[in-house]
Structure formats: C-alpha cells, structure tokens
Structure 1
C-alpha cells in the first residue's frame, strides 16, 4: 500500500506539498495516515468531533490523539454543534456533518495550513457512490464515482479494497475504532454496504472487481465528455461572461444537458433550467424581458435570451430583485390573535 501511495504522490502532487489527513479513527483513515507518513509525505491530521454518539465520539477522538502521538504527527481537533447547524439550515444529519467538516477543511487550506485534504475513501466506497447516484437518476457526472483528485481533495486509497486496508493496519501493529452506526441499516449507503453489495458479490463472484473497472472506464468517458461540453459551451459564452441561452435552445439538439452542465455549477436547479428553456422556446406564458433567477451564489437575469449576473443596470423593481419571477411569490402576513381566531372559525386556517 505504501508503494501505491508513493506512486499516487508522484503522479498527482508536488513532493513538497502539505497534506491534511481527515482522521476519524476508522481503518480507512488510519491506513491513509500511516501510508502517507511511510511514503515520506509532509502530513498533519484533522479530527472532527460531532458529539453525536456520546462516549463513543470521545473514544474516537482519544484514539486519534494516541495514534498521532505514537507516530509523531500533529493533530488538529474541532468540536461541532450539529444540532445548531441543522436548526439553522434544515439539513439532514449527514449533510450537516459533511458541510461542517468541509467548511473547516477549506478554512485550513485558505489559512495556508495545508495544500490538500486527504480522505480515506476506498474502492467499495466508490462502488456504493455509483449505486447511490444511479438510484437518484444521475448522469455520467454522478455515475463516474469519486475522483482520485478533485480540486484540493485527494483520495490515495480509491483503488484499494477495504480488506487490504484492514490487513495493512493490522500488519503495522496498529488498531482502529468502528462507528457502530456503520452497522445499522437505516441509511441508504449502509443498506448497500451491508446487504445489497455483499449479496451481489455472493451471487456474482468478482462483481466488485468488474464494477471498479467500469468506474475507471466511466471516468475516462467523463473526461472526453467534459472536453466536448467545454468546446460547445465556449460558442455561447459572450465576451462579458453572459450566456446565450436562446442560441443554445435553438441550435443544439441536447440543449437541456448542455445548459445543465453549464449552469448547475453556478447553483441553478433542474427546475430553474427547465424554466429558462421555457422562457426561450416560447412555452412559458408569463415570460417577459428581465426574468430573475436566484441561486445560492448570486441572482441572474434573462433578457432577450441572454443570461447574465444581476447588476444595478438591470431595470427590475427593487422588491422583485431577489425572487424567481418564474416561481409563484410567497406572501407572508402577520395576524393578530382576533384575526387568527376569526379565520379559524371560518375554517380558512
């Protein structure tokens, strides 16, 4: 495994880069930290304590502290209030933890603490991701699985099996901790991991190896796909960065897919992209010049088929600036107690 990690570093990273290892205390992250250190990488570790499993959460943190002290690696620890995050965002438990974790890691990169974040995803994780995205109705972007390098996130163990990871850690004389929730089948990923994929492997021996090969092919296909998309997109991106949506709708056979690939990174949802298309193909009865589309990043304006970021030069009423004109407006009213009781008696509430 150490040799494979050394080859990964030579292929993808500068030898002098600083790597932060996301260390949970599980076999995957422990193996990753040990292999990177043995490969000569300059690395530190980061542990997130979400305080969701009581004493078990503190046990995991203590295990990480003892491991890093034993091998001489600096460990950063961050405590999180997941309940407060969910109350503010209405996210699922998994999404809240993921957002908190990656927000912290991105802060560490921005502060110059490290150049890359290494996570311990292995080949079975990637197969699970393929199935989860398949069940969601994903395209090639989701079906390709996770990438070995995705921006500042690296996955040196992505082609390594879970069994080989555990053998490596044991052979090195180290141990790991298990999260008991990984063995509960409440979540979709756990059902795949504990029930469905083992049954597929039992019925079709070698299925996991075959699926890993398919993922490699899909990643290569995705590279070609992205090259094609980028070439197509350049034809419709104007000098000021605006996008000729009407040109795409009227000229491209797969205009919906092209617009999705161009606009989803900007925060556009599939329904917003559908509304954009309707504005440009004449099927939206309420379409008018100056339609506003609000995304998490910024508002966009569609004028005469051209989509651009909103600015003060656009002649849109102030009260309409930050809502989708395609979507029905939500009106919020404050009622007095008497008004509320009156409406309730009339069965209007």
Structure 2
C-alpha cells in the first residue's frame, strides 16, 4: 500500500512540475545509495524509458568498485541500458586547483550531459530529496547567500531534474526496506568532516528535537521564500535591465555611474541588482564608500569582477578575463592567417619596403625579428621603444596615457619577438627597433582585421 501510494505521488510530482513527458527517455544518475536506487525502482515501476549512469570516482578503492558492481547488477536485472565511467578525481582536482567535491561535480555533470545527448535523453534525474533540500537552505543561511539561497534545490533547472523532492529521508528508508531494494552506504556520508554532513548528522536532529516536523515545516517556509523572491524579481529585474547594458564585447556589462548613483543609498536594492553576479554585501558597501575615489579600482565576487571606470562600472566574468590573459598565439615564418581571441591578422611577406600610417597595420623589418613570434596580452614589466618617441616606456604607462581601462588592456594584442622583445602594440604603436629603414630588404606586414 505504501509503495502504490508513493508511486502515485511520484507520478503526480513529475506531472505537476513538468519534469518530463511520459514518452521521454530519462538518464538516471545512480550511485548505489538508498536515494538513487529507490529513484531507479520508481522509474522502472512507472514504466518510464530510462538509462542508468554510474560514476566511479576512484576515491574509496574496492568500495567504489563494489558500488559500481551493485548498480550494474541491478540494471541488468531489469534490462536497463547501463553506463559507467571511472574518473581520476584526485588528479583532476589537483590539475584545476579545486576541491575533490567540486572535481567530482564537474566530472559527473560533464559526462552526464554527453551521455544525455548521445542517447537522446530528455533530462538527467538526480536523487536529491527533501532533506537535501533543507540542508541546502541551512548551508546557504550559514554562508549568507540571501533570499535566492533560501529557495533551496529547484525541481527542474535546465536539463537537470530532481524527482524525489517530494520524499524525506525517513520515507526513503522505509520504502527501501518495504521494496527490498539493494543499496550500499558510502561511509563518507557519516563523517562530520564535511559541512553538509555536519548539518545532516548534528544540526537537523537537534532542530527535530524542538520540532519533530522541522523538515516539513522548513519545506513549507521555502515555498514562501520562493514566492517572495519571485515578487522581488518582478520589481528588481526591470530596474536591472534598464541599468545593466550588454556591450558589443562578449560577456561584458556596462552600468553608467550617473544612472546607478540615485540607487546607492538603497543598499538592499543594490544587493538585489548585483545578486546574480554573487557580490557580497560588504563588497558592495566598499564600492559605495569609494564611489568618489580614483578610477581603476576593482571589486570581485566569486565569479565576477567590477572595474570602476571614469563614467561607468564595467562587469565581467572572472573566467573570461583569465581566458583572455592566458591566450597566446604563435606565428611561424610563412604563416599568413593568424587568430588571437576574437581578432584576426593577415601576414604579408614582401621584398619591397613600404610604410603604412594606418594604426591597424605594422610594417616590420623581417631581418630584425626572430621567429616564432607570439601574440599575447600585456604583462607587468613589458616595455617598448615607441616609434616617434625617445627612449623606452612601460606599456602599462602607455595604456594609462591612452586612457585604456584594465579590461580593455587585456584585449590589446601585443606582438612579441622570439627574443622576448615587444614589436608592436597592435592598433596603437610600433616599436622603434623594428621599423623599416632605407636599408630594409625584407618586410613583414601584419594587418589587424
């Protein structure tokens, strides 16, 4: 009776939240634990077309292999297509300088999405339940993520669905026993070394001592939080849309100071405006307090950076900034088409000395350069000898004179000789040492298109 009731609740939850259509194929992420094994059983009993995917993160030795074997046997029992992948999670974490948890998350979701596409699945089902939902809310309260964080886990976000959010942990444990569903416990789930486990094992039981219906009560409160957040967005989103203007430059937003200034004293509104970009309140307060100070200051969130320019704030993802700064293109002798970031260069080789006065064209004495050349962003300490000027100059000082802001500096291509010397600041100025003279016999002409 319990099973039939839960199966109907499962179907109703899927329908009410429009998680997928009855004839869709769904990829199930199954670890071998109670939650995901029950999820698989419900999908099977509901006669939904599924495939099962299991990640072996190689973190628990033989125990990880036993998890994989359990899920494989279960899938074979019900003739469900089964896919597994073993990951070098520790190596990935070290390479990308992230935590083991973040590495596992990146690896599994990248692989799930690839499988989803290859096997024509509508969505990816993750077995998170009510307790995961309220643990996320409590974690977000501790971290100070604001009203958005109080919404907890969404039933559907993009291709990811969470069809067990209607069940709590106690119900799942009862169902696993009633249905005799096999599962394996991951012992790391019982260690309070991790913040989420500490909330699950220490905090929630204490709160349930005060209110045995704590999980149910907080879930009801989350619905109210979500409604309040929706109402807030209806007010804030039109203001943000009017103030935050996308530039032609990819991933860059410009906010004019004069338009934002009337809102500076309304700190709650300011926080709501910048909330999608993860800026903390103290950072925004620093921004307000330094409003009249010198330009060029930067303010960071975990994902974005604000540059205070003369008449505007410029907002960009930190990742895109790093990608631009790290992009290097090599030019071998004879190359004719070169790309760097979103820019293209054409290389022309000739024996006839010619001079162009166009800023996007560099006419270079080929006998003065050493291949391979490279194009990159400027680096601290870069100097050059500007043509038409005396002596050398730091490129950073030159950029200041040209009133080029910090973000735009990273987009200016710097042509570097094989010896490490600066040849050309593309679209600005050639280095005097590489210019054409009366003695020039071979010319390299670079055109920035």
TM-score under structure 1 length normalisation = 0.78
Match of 1:281 among 280, 285, 291: 291
Structure 2 alignment gaps of length 5 or more: 1-5, 322-341, 344-375, 381-395, 397-404, 408-449
- Look up the SS of the partner of 1:146 in the other structure: coil
- Look up the SS of the partner of 1:209 in the other structure: helix
1:1-80 equivalent positions in 2, closer than 5 A: 1-11=6-16, 12=18, 13-80=20-87
Q: Is the 1:294–1:300 contact (alpha carbons within 8 Å) kept by the matching residues of 2?
A: no
Per-residue CA deviation, residues 171-225 of structure 1 (Å, 9 max, x unaligned), is 2232211001111221111111112211221233222221121112112222223
1:46-125 equivalent positions in 2, closer than 5 A: 46-111=53-118, 113-125=120-132
TM superposition shift of 1:47: 0.4
TM superposition shift of 1:318: 4.2
Q: Does 1:152 align with 2:159?
A: yes
Q: Which structure has the highest strand share of the two?
A: 2
Please, what is the CA RMSD of the aligned residues?
3.6
User: Highest CA radius of gyration, 1 or 2?
Assistant: 2
Supply the distance in 2 between the matched residues of 1:170 and 1:42 (Cα, whole angstroms): 25
Relative contact order higher in (CA < 8 Å, ≥ 6 apart)? 1
Q: Is the 1:280–1:305 contact (alpha carbons within 8 Å) kept by the matching residues of 2?
A: no
Q: Which structure has the highest helix share of the two?
A: 1
TM superposition shift of 1:120: 0.7
Partner of 2:425: none
Match of 1:256 among 270, 276, 279: 270
Moved over 6 A (4+): 291-301, 308-312
Match of 1:215 among 191, 200, 222: 222
1:216-231 equivalent positions in 2, closer than 5 A: 216-231=223-238
- Look up the SS of the partner of 1:307 in the other structure: strand
TM superposition shift of 1:245: 4.3
Per-residue CA deviation, residues 100-151 of structure 1 (Å, 9 max, x unaligned), is 1112122234445422111111111111111111111120111211111112
Q: Is the 2:27–2:123 contact (alpha carbons within 8 Å) kept by the matching residues of 1?
A: yes
Supply the distance in 2 between the matched residues of 1:85 and 1:29 (Cα, whole angstroms): 25
Structure 1 alignment gaps of length 5 or more: 327-349
Supply the distance in 2 between the matched residues of 1:45 and 1:85 (Cα, whole angstroms): 24
Partner of 2:368: none
TM superposition shift of 1:295: 9.1
Partner of 2:210: 203
Q: Which stretch of structure 1 is more off in the superposition, 46-55 or 183-192?
A: 183-192
TM-score under structure 2 length normalisation = 0.62
The number of residues matched between the two structures is 316
